[in-house]
Structure 1
């Protein structure tokens, strides 16, 4: 199996997890969709636990790059906040998927401790990024009504994740937009 097939497997598995949950697909499903034998999948990912670890590791790296890009391309906290909301919205794919952390959280009982820990690490990374953004917002005045950066970060992440679930339930990104309207309204720049 070449690198492109491995990437295709990971892309398909991630889409499956994000749209149907971790328990909503099997290696047989992946093999059929890609046109390979299950043994080929087992060569790179001996177990679904190994696959889930690779998925969350890749997701964390992509999200880290996305957050760094937002920080680089947007100077004010308000602009960064709007960009983060847009990043989360883009993960909805027209209401057909949720972010990988939300999808994994729903199927927590089926995951290895390593993956559960990594999901926690991803959430911590986002919370720290949000705290820094809110602290910047207090300094530059581009986000209104900031109370406490830690509480703001926790509330924002819960709102974004909950908005994902609601939009997926309705299969409508407009539900996400409605749920995040007040967050966007707080941005002054």
Structure 2
């Protein structure tokens, strides 16, 4: 029971972070849906900050596994980048904002530990993208890309901006347009 309740709380808190934001939800929002009293939520997570930190830690563990799976499953850099971009569209099609985007949007309202986690989250994105671009340049699959670190920043800006625009317009299918175009242009110069 303890693990199930804790898991339910974490799952719902993640959904609330991704749909309403950290500042706009409280333990009262969790009570009805989880089916426990507020005291039970405080038993598992004494503070909202602790809950937020654990939601992000849990998500980051899953996110790292997804990135490693992409590296293992998709052999070309353009395919790896496409699979990465799909992580963003999948969340928008599920009716949630990508967690990294949601956290960054209200960075100033987050507790310091969550601000640090958010910065680390973006560093994970940049490091992974840089690695894939470096491999793609070495394999001559992304000859048109700029230096790997710069390309990683450009790609992250494109997908994060795409997520914000897609969310605002309610058009999840548009999230990867800019990102996909960059990858297409950079790989077309390799042919």
Partner of 2:24: 24
**Looking at both structures, which has the greater relative contact order when contacts are Cα pairs under 8 Å and sequence separation is at least 6?**
1
Q: Give the aligned length.
A: 188
Flag as ranges the 4+ runs of structure 1 deviating above 4 A.
none
TM-score (structure 2 length as normaliser): 0.91
Matched, 1:34 2:34: yes
CA contact (8 A) 2:166 2:173 kept: yes
Partner of 2:98: 99
Deviation at 1:141, TM superposition (A): 2.1
Counterparts of 2:5 and 2:106, CA distance in 1: 26
TM-score (structure 1 length as normaliser): 0.92
Counterparts of 1:14 and 1:84, CA distance in 2: 20
Counterparts of 1:34 and 1:47, CA distance in 2: 17
What are the residue-to-residue correspondences of 1:69-108 with 2, within 5 Å? 69-94=69-94, 96-108=95-107
Counterparts of 2:178 and 2:147, CA distance in 1: 21
**Residue segments in structure 1 that go unaligned for 5+ positions in a row:** none
Cα RMSD for the two superposed structures: 1.7
**Residue segments in structure 2 that go unaligned for 5+ positions in a row:** none
Matched, 1:171 2:170: yes
Cα 1:53–1:173 shift into 2, 3 Å: same
Deviation at 1:184, TM superposition (A): 4.5
Partner of 2:63: 63
**What's the CA shift string for 1:114-159, capped at 9, x where partnerless?**
1111111111111111111111111112235111111110111111
CA contact (8 A) 2:136 2:142 kept: yes
Counterparts of 2:70 and 2:55, CA distance in 1: 22
Counterparts of 1:78 and 1:178, CA distance in 2: 14
Matched, 1:145 2:144: yes
